[in-house]
Amino acid sequence: MNPYIGHPSQLSFVEEHRLVGGKGDGLRLYEVTNGKGLEMTVSPDRCADIPRLRVNGVNLSYMSPCGYVAPAYYDSIGTNWLSSFTAGYLTTCGLQAVGSPCTDEGEELPLHGSIANIPSSHSYWTEDDENITIHALTRDETIFGRKLTLSREIIVSKSENSFMIRDTVENTGDRTEPFEILYHMNMGYPLLDEDSMITIPSETVIPRDEHAAEDLQNWMRMEKPQAGYQERCYYHVFPDAKGFARIEQPKLGLSLTIEFDAKELDGFVEWKMMGVRDYVLGLECGNCYPDGRDVMRKTGMLKFLEPGEKKTYCVKVSIA
């Protein structure tokens, strides 16, 4: 025990809170501080996603106009997912679907799936001399249908401003299940503005549609907020397993780096949205592209889990 402090929370801590009022009423939040300047908010009532991320008081993430929204307001029809899209630093998309609403082998699938609007059935935190770890188990299971679980660990370093997201998806049912996951990580002001510098060392950049193709040469250049801006998405293909993306803000002397296994998470998406108040850059690694599960099945990119099978993914985020 440190003789200079009365309580360990003088240096690092996790505190549990509940929101009062608005659409976020009752939502549980873990406020995490690592003692080195990193602060994050984790929402166990939304599969342990990360709505806020800060370092030394500087905001790094994008909070959508929706703000905090409790799972009770989730609407799975079509694109109504957007009405509860807090965004934040991390919104997890999946597990039954990612991307455009579609019908795949007779199953109607909503935009980006339902996992981000499912409360964890069990969550807690642990702490030792090196790390603070948030643990959460979320069940995406239904009668006569998919039975998938997401076991998440968010491992926050106490020696540097970094954290690891380690997720294990398990098929707890008795049939082979398709599954998709996308780490919808959202950069926001003041980390993001027209002076931000983007580094993604991919060997191929594929525009999602003709609109994105029209400005392909500027995929790495950010812009000032523009009225009526239409989103542009780019798919990045890496030459090896070293998935990497970085955003730097020279005015703040600040950078955020994302590292992942690009062979396992083989669908990296850059979401460039330079709208007024809808001003966000998504740097999103996943095991698919957000074109709908039916399209992923046709292209052969759709992943499957056999009964009892597990798959683990890791994403590291570092701030300097």
For the chain, give every domain's residue range. Answer: 8-319
Q: Which fold has domain 8-319?
A: Beta-galactosidase; Chain A, domain 5 (2.70.98)
* Three-state SS at 274: strand
Token digits of residue 299: 């292209």
* 142-172 burial code (b ≥16 CB/10 A, e <16): eeeebbbbbbbbbbbbbeebbbbbebebbbb
Per the CB < 8 A criterion, the answer to whether 307 and 287 are in contact is no
User: Which of 142, 80, 90, 134 is closest to 116 using CA atoms?
Assistant: 90
Per the CB < 8 A criterion, the answer to whether 77 and 110 are in contact is yes
* Mode of pairing for the β-strands spanning 254-261 and 147-157: unpaired
pLDDT value of position 289: 98
pLDDT value of position 190: 98
Question: What is the C-alpha radius of gyration for the chain, rounded to an integer number of angstroms?
Answer: 19
Tens digit of pLDDT for each residue in 263-275? 999 999 999 999 9
**CA atoms of 77 and 61, how far apart (whole Å):** 27
Amino acid at 180: E
CB count in 10 Å sphere of residue 31: 14
User: Which of 30, 35, 31, 36 is closest to 8 using CA atoms?
Assistant: 35
Token digits of residue 160: 């540097």
Low-confidence ranges of the chain (pLDDT < 70): none
**CA atoms of 90 and 121, how far apart (whole Å):** 19
The backbone torsions φ and ψ at residue 258, rounded to the nearest 5 degrees and listed phi first, read -115, 130
* Mode of pairing for the β-strands spanning 107-109 and 122-127: unpaired
Can you name the residues that pair with 205 across neighbouring β-strands? 236
Tens digit of pLDDT for each residue in 14-47? 999 999 999 999 999 999 999 999 999 999 999 9
pLDDT value of position 220: 97
Whether omega for the bond prior to residue 191 falls within 30 degrees of 0, making it cis, is: no
Alpha-carbon distances, residue 202 vs 88, 205, 234 (angstroms): 25, 7, 11
Any idea what DSSP says for residue 90?
E
The pTM assigned to this predicted structure is 0.97
What DSSP line would sit under 223-246, residue for residue?
---BTTPPPEEEEEE-SSSEEEEE
